[in-house]
Structure 1
Amino acid sequence: MSQWKQIQQLEFKYLEQVDYLYDDNFPMGIRQVLSDWIESQDWDMAAHHESMATVLLSNLLSQLDRQCSQEQNFLQRHNLKNINKQLQIQYKAYPLLMAGVISTSLREERRIIASANLPEPGPLEKSVQNSVAFERQKNMDNRVVMIRSSVQMLDLAVKCLEDMQDDFDLRFKTTQSRDPADRNTEGMEQEVTRLQEILNNLDFKRKEILSKMSDVIKEIDALIASQLNPELMEWKRRQQINCIGGPLLTGLDQLQNWFTLAAQSLFQMKRQLDKLGELILKVTYASDPISLQRPQLEEQVKYLIDHLIKSSFVVEKQPWMPTHPQKPLIIKTGVQFTTKVRLLVKLPEVDYQLKVKTIFDKYLPPGRVHCQFFILTSTTKVMDVEESSNGCLSVEFRHLQLKEKKYVNGTKVNEGPLSVTEELHSLSFEAQFNIQGIHIDLETCSFPLVVISSVSQLTGGWASIMWYNMLTDEPRVLSFIIPPRASWGQLSEVLSWQFSTFTGRGLNREQLCMLGEKLMGQQASHNECQVSWSKFCKENIPGKPFSFWMWLDFILELIKKHLLPIWNDNCIMGFVSKETERACLKDKEPGTFLLRFSESHLGGITFTWVKQSDSGEAKLISVEPYTKSRLSALPFANIIRDYKVIADGEVPENPLKFLYPGIPKDESFRRHYNSQQSKVFPYISSTWIPISTLQCVHNSLLLSSNLSRPDNACRPAPKMCI
């Protein structure tokens, strides 16, 4: 079943997550009409190769043209034409960006499908689930609506007060203009009495309005403190978790709606207070409540506006390189990266007026001089209104680049106490907000970044990003000198997310248990065990020349580039200890095999099968691990299909019959076989066949042998023959 058909069968709550994936950057209309073609292309590869991305963009537009010409529905044809035109404008000069967008969308779809079948969420996901609860949103919506209604009623009250004051002012001036000889008459006394009554009512009305204003201001203050600020902080925490592979990030549009309604209420109250200031210029008196209370209320409103507007300036999309969309917050010098800033307050008066400036490492910790950088490209851009979406005010920087400073104040930069991949940096954004006489300096900053100069540093840099965002939400704690420890419950969840992000399928409990044992040894329960930063990615695994994280990251790359279809088809058991492997296979019939990742090779996969000896005893035989260099020449499914063993002069045979626990090999792998036979006349076809020569079967292959043997002990050495 195609991925898109699987999506359409999901529950509504998952469909809402899918809906969030698609916007003007990748309209859902294209995903629908070209679903099969889109899924048949290698967008992950295209996102890293501009020539391939250019070809796919051209093919996409051609497919869209063909679909448009065949479409019978006039409205649908019109929409497809507009989408075609929009894509050409948006991506013609940036095909890599298009490939990255589509690659990310397809990957997120796979994650949503996988999450629909996942068991109970882990500790990190649990920590951010409550923030999207329906009841909380409903309560917030009702509260904001009540405030807006109260402010609207105040508008009517101020208008009524103005009419009452105009009536008093007219009567008072009329009385003053009368002849002095008439001032002691009975009619004049009645008029003065009437004026006093109106003034008393005026005073009462002023006090009533000011009291209601005070109540509404308190309500807005409580709303911001108790709900808006926490919701924003939780959204930022969800953004952190999403950056390292966690659940899909949603909720910013809802936050914008709340921020905008709160800001509109405050600005409306500011105008009401300005109006009251105008009224006392015409009519005032001793103990006038407006003169006494208005300054304080005005200060409160201005303070709340200042706080709300500053809080609404957020980084919507954290810095990321289109070449590595799954690893945001890692920037390579000399490579363009993208980021997006947004104002969560929609006010027409400030449209197209906010100029945003980017600053790198504005808050560089004192005393740290290692690896300083500056922005090479333009650092200033004006915020624009996204007319095609929700009308938010935002700015996207798509062509930022960093360059390293070799000298600071004429002195050559020295090395610091940390490695390059442990140095954390930040990107700050500044703007000046001016409206109705209010001036506000806006500032926000990205999550901590790691800056690398070589792709070889990507593995270490991503470890730092994962560790930091997993354990802290402090945006300016830019130090790895004393990194905190992580519980295995937290770390295992993040590691599973890496597989979901890169492959579409996370790790199950058994696989995570094996990883826990590899990192911390055998424990009754790993969940509460603490893992140090050094143990995770700096210290080598005992007896190996690489760290735990390097070993795991190489496996991720191997899956992504060479094993993805059979991994997602659940053909690879993957992380299996020697003991578990033996327990699984010891009672199986000859020819049963399983696939697992090598513990001795970086980025290696091997298969172990059951062979019956001449004495009738079961033996386990493992082939030397296949790594990316060998899998680049031949698909792994073909290796499984064509693998042969020659032993003691026997006829070559394929020992792989049943995928554990007992599925016929072809039933599991047939759809993944790739025919590479030549069809050009007059040549006959040729096929690469992997062959192992098994000269002897050593006793260490018996089930009773030493369980701690390395992967390559007495292994048949695979050879590629034609």
Structure 2
Amino acid sequence: MSQYLLMNGLSNNDNGSQNSLSGSSNSTAILPSLSTSRSLSNGTTYSDDTLYAIHDGISNLNLSINKIDGELQQFRTEYETFNTTYEIHNQRKALLGVQDTHNEDLQMQERYMSVISKRNAMLHDLRSITLEYDSMQKSVINELRSWQRNQALAGNGATFRDNLDDIQRCIELLIEMIGKILDIVNTFQTKTLDTSNDLSELIAHVRNAQQLLILSSFIVEKQPPQVMKKKTKFVTGIRWLIGPQLGISANTPSVECIIMSAANTLPTSGDLENNTTLMDYDSQTRTFSGTFRTLQLWDIKRPERKGSETVTDEKFTLLFHTSVVVNDYKIKVWTLSLPVVVTVHGTQEPQAWATITWDNAFSSIMREPFQVPERVTWSQMAFALNIKFESITDEKLFPLKNANGEYNEYVTWTQFCKEKLPERSFTFWEWFFAIMKLTKEHCQSIWKAGLIMGFISKLKADELLRYSPVGTFLLRFSDSELGGITLAFKKAENWVLMLSPWTPRDLIIRGLADRIHDLPLLRVYPSNRSRDDAFGEFYTQRADNTIGADGYVSNTIKAYVPAIENAMDALGLQQEVQIPQQPGIPMDNVAQNEAGPVDIEMIINGANLNVSDIGWEIY
């Protein structure tokens, strides 16, 4: 996809009724749906239908395990009786001879075959139960991986449905169940009547399943900041979803945290302070967890970079590890955090967030850390941008078609954040990131009110206003000024003015709503609401028209665009504009384009004051 199309894909619907990305409202990416909670007969409540079904399946499988466990107890009695009888038979056989015990031999043979038959039948059932258990465990681990994937999406601002407690309940049941299966298999091993019937493979399989569950349930519950600045303290936390099972929690294991390069070229890639903690079990919440409250990265060792890579392309991860003993076996458990980018200066933040945003949005659950695709479809990209923008501004975009209506055209990583936009000094991501920052810090309420058209081009703005009444205006994000917002104004028939963009620096001096109030504008596109009706609630209050205790008269500044003023005067549409008050501070770079330079005048709010006392012209 060309970068012109990439920018133009961020366009509003022609009717301007919503802040959007252009075109249809379909999207290929879907966040997990929220479902109503469901309760089991024992009172356990699940907020997730899938986990409810898994729990139900585990309960049914547990009945089968209990059944075979009961059969095993009967078998042990029968086996021991047979074993005693067989020993007595062999003793009699030694005394009486083979001929005198022939009939007893036949009887013992029949009893032996009966015991073997029952044992093999139970063993067949046990193997079937083990296969069913494998399926249940796989489903629960998949749910846990989905939770971890959603955790990554939440790093981009997606709504996060935290069903970790539900997952833990299932894991605790599985821990108990695999322990029973292991006990049963070991019991079978001790009751071997035929050396050809070796159970070592089944025992190894069950133990591996148990270890996999123990390892998989060790997770990062609270992720570290994904853009991390050196020498800044942060908090992160791990959790082990096994609860009180296996007795591990009674030993309060110590967990260590280290930072590693995603390239795995160094065993450790930095110096972390306060990087150990003890895990603690809370019996009320049934959580077995540990928190690193004052982790601090003092130094970072960067691997050798390839080609055009920069420090903000480098991914690191926090590795948490500990060792425990389970069933006389020492197990080392570890888990990785989501990728982090380490910065040393605030100017690196936008590009660092490009790396993290791409990774969080487009990584797969079963990837090799931390591999991501080099390109994605426009529908995937638009969906990710929507999530990111909403998380920053509290208002949705709509991930729709690109300018050509193509969902499946590809956007590369290079186009996303490396290549400069045509005839621009910045990349697509720098442009988008600056708009998010501008919206959040300077015009979030106005954006949420639907008063900013936003992502439309200069040409499209001209087209929309050309057939609107004179005095109509709209606001759009600049595609030439990084982090700028600009006003398009219908001056006369077939004449649309485009003001030079207002930047965050300008909006610190005087806010967007007050700038709109300063100008004799009539109606906002597309709602056709009057300026004051649409923006009135966002105007700042007027200062008191009295002399302060210090003897000074309050003053403010206003935006003045001669081309707009003259146009409205010519039409006899000049409005009386009352200017809200702010502290008087210089304003520069307000706006110039076809409308010409903007004059900033000091407005004095003082009734019946002598001009000579003030030294400024009052009008």
* Shorter-chain TM-score tier: 0.7 to 0.9
8 Å CA contact 2:220–2:337 kept in 1: the answer is yes
1:287 alignment partner, one of 180, 189, 194: 194
Same amino acid, percent of matched pairs: 25
User: For residues 364 and 545 of structure 1, what CA distance do their matches in structure 2 show?
Assistant: 31
Matches within 5 A, 1:305-454: 305-320=210-225, 329-348=226-245, 349-353=247-251, 354-361=253-260, 364-366=263-265, 373-389=269-285, 391-405=286-300, 417=307, 418-454=309-345
TM-superposed deviation, 1:476 = 4.0
More helix by share: 1
1:639 alignment partner, one of 515, 521, 540: 515
8 Å CA contact 1:313–1:341 kept in 2: the answer is yes
Q: Work out whether 1:624 is the aligned partner of 2:475.
A: no
User: How has the CA–CA distance of structure 1 residues 530 and 197 changed in structure 2, closer, same or farther, with 3 Å as cutoff?
Assistant: closer
8 Å CA contact 2:561–2:596 kept in 1: the answer is no
User: How has the CA–CA distance of structure 1 residues 295 and 618 changed in structure 2, closer, same or farther, with 3 Å as cutoff?
Assistant: closer
> Which residue is equivalent to 2:374?
484
Residues 28-83 of structure 1: per-residue CA shift (max 9 Å, x gap)? xxxxxxxxxxxxxxxxxxxxxxxxxxxxxxxxxxxxxxxxxxxxxxxxxxxxxxxx
User: How has the CA–CA distance of structure 1 residues 680 and 213 changed in structure 2, closer, same or farther, with 3 Å as cutoff?
Assistant: farther
Residues 631-670 of structure 1: per-residue CA shift (max 9 Å, x gap)? 22333222222x14xxxxxxxxx23444533112222222
1:505 alignment partner, one of 385, 395, 404: 395
1:495 alignment partner, one of 385, 410, 429: 385
Q: What SS does the aligned partner of 1:688 have?
A: strand
TM-superposed deviation, 1:163 = 3.8
Q: What SS does the aligned partner of 1:525 have?
A: coil
Question: Which amino acid is 2:248 matched to?
Answer: V
User: How has the CA–CA distance of structure 1 residues 168 and 657 changed in structure 2, closer, same or farther, with 3 Å as cutoff?
Assistant: same
Question: Which amino acid is 1:350 matched to?
Answer: I
The structure number with the bigger radius of gyration is 2
Residues 566-602 of structure 1: per-residue CA shift (max 9 Å, x gap)? 1111111111212221222223223221111122222
User: For residues 666 and 386 of structure 1, what CA distance do their matches in structure 2 show?
Assistant: 57
8 Å CA contact 1:566–1:572 kept in 2: the answer is yes
Q: What SS does the aligned partner of 1:626 have?
A: coil
> Which residue is equivalent to 2:5?
none
> Which residue is equivalent to 1:157?
71
TM-superposed deviation, 1:458 = 0.9
TM-superposed deviation, 1:306 = 1.8
> Which residue is equivalent to 1:208?
121
Question: Which amino acid is 2:131 matched to?
Answer: K
User: For residues 378 and 684 of structure 1, what CA distance do their matches in structure 2 show?
Assistant: 54
Q: Work out whether 1:219 is the aligned partner of 2:132.
A: yes
Question: Which amino acid is 1:537 matched to?
Answer: C
TM-score between both structures, scaled by the size of structure 2 = 0.76
2:185 alignment partner, one of 273, 285, 290: 273
8 Å CA contact 2:443–2:512 kept in 1: the answer is yes
User: How has the CA–CA distance of structure 1 residues 661 and 685 changed in structure 2, closer, same or farther, with 3 Å as cutoff?
Assistant: farther
User: For residues 592 and 175 of structure 2, what CA distance do their matches in structure 1 show?
Assistant: 64
TM-superposed deviation, 1:335 = 1.2
8 Å CA contact 1:624–1:717 kept in 2: the answer is no
User: For residues 410 and 201 of structure 2, what CA distance do their matches in structure 1 show?
Assistant: 52
User: How has the CA–CA distance of structure 1 residues 691 and 222 changed in structure 2, closer, same or farther, with 3 Å as cutoff?
Assistant: closer
TM-superposed deviation, 1:619 = 3.0
Q: What SS does the aligned partner of 1:401 have?
A: strand
User: How has the CA–CA distance of structure 1 residues 250 and 388 changed in structure 2, closer, same or farther, with 3 Å as cutoff?
Assistant: same
8 Å CA contact 2:172–2:241 kept in 1: the answer is yes
8 Å CA contact 1:600–1:711 kept in 2: the answer is no
> Which residue is equivalent to 2:9?
none
Matches within 5 A, 1:447-462: 447-462=338-353
TM-superposed deviation, 1:680 = 8.1
TM-superposed deviation, 1:557 = 0.8
TM-superposed deviation, 1:421 = 0.6
User: For residues 693 and 287 of structure 1, what CA distance do their matches in structure 2 show?
Assistant: 99
User: For residues 401 and 299 of structure 1, what CA distance do their matches in structure 2 show?
Assistant: 42
Matches within 5 A, 1:75-224: 122-125=27-30, 136-165=50-79, 202-224=115-137
Question: Which amino acid is 1:640 matched to?
Answer: I
User: How has the CA–CA distance of structure 1 residues 667 and 130 changed in structure 2, closer, same or farther, with 3 Å as cutoff?
Assistant: closer
2:556 alignment partner, one of 682, 688, 694: 688
1:542 alignment partner, one of 422, 428, 445: 422
User: For residues 333 and 426 of structure 1, what CA distance do their matches in structure 2 show?
Assistant: 14
8 Å CA contact 2:451–2:524 kept in 1: the answer is no
> Which residue is equivalent to 1:49?
none
User: How has the CA–CA distance of structure 1 residues 192 and 461 changed in structure 2, closer, same or farther, with 3 Å as cutoff?
Assistant: same
User: For residues 394 and 598 of structure 1, what CA distance do their matches in structure 2 show?
Assistant: 48
User: For residues 254 and 720 of structure 1, what CA distance do their matches in structure 2 show?
Assistant: 63
1:660 alignment partner, one of 526, 535, 538: 526
User: For residues 582 and 542 of structure 1, what CA distance do their matches in structure 2 show?
Assistant: 21
Question: Which amino acid is 1:356 matched to?
Answer: V
User: How has the CA–CA distance of structure 1 residues 204 and 360 changed in structure 2, closer, same or farther, with 3 Å as cutoff?
Assistant: same
TM-superposed deviation, 1:257 = 2.9
Q: What SS does the aligned partner of 1:124 have?
A: coil
2:411 alignment partner, one of 526, 531, 540: 531
Question: Which amino acid is 1:151 matched to?
Answer: I
Question: Which amino acid is 2:489 matched to?
Answer: W
User: For residues 579 and 672 of structure 1, what CA distance do their matches in structure 2 show?
Assistant: 28
Question: Which amino acid is 2:255 matched to?
Answer: V
User: For residues 160 and 263 of structure 1, what CA distance do their matches in structure 2 show?
Assistant: 25
8 Å CA contact 1:595–1:607 kept in 2: the answer is yes
Residues 666-719 of structure 1: per-residue CA shift (max 9 Å, x gap)? 2222222221524886568745242314169999xxxxxxxxxx9834444252
Q: CA RMSD in A?
A: 4.0
Question: Which amino acid is 2:230 matched to?
Answer: T
Q: Structure 2: 5+ residue runs without aligned partners?
A: 1-18, 37-46, 568-590, 604-619
Question: Which amino acid is 1:428 matched to?
Answer: L
With CA pairs under 8 Å and 6+ residues apart, which has the higher RCO, 1 or 2?
2
TM-superposed deviation, 1:502 = 0.6
Residues 461-520 of structure 1: per-residue CA shift (max 9 Å, x gap)? 11111223333326544579xx612222111111111211011112146xx66xx5xxxx
TM-superposed deviation, 1:130 = 12
Question: Which amino acid is 2:67 matched to?
Answer: M
Between Structure 1 and Structure 2, how many residues are aligned?
540
Residues 406-460 of structure 1: per-residue CA shift (max 9 Å, x gap)? 7x9xxxx876541111112222222223222233222221232211111211100
Q: Structure 1: 5+ residue runs without aligned partners?
A: 1-113, 321-328, 517-522, 645-653, 700-709
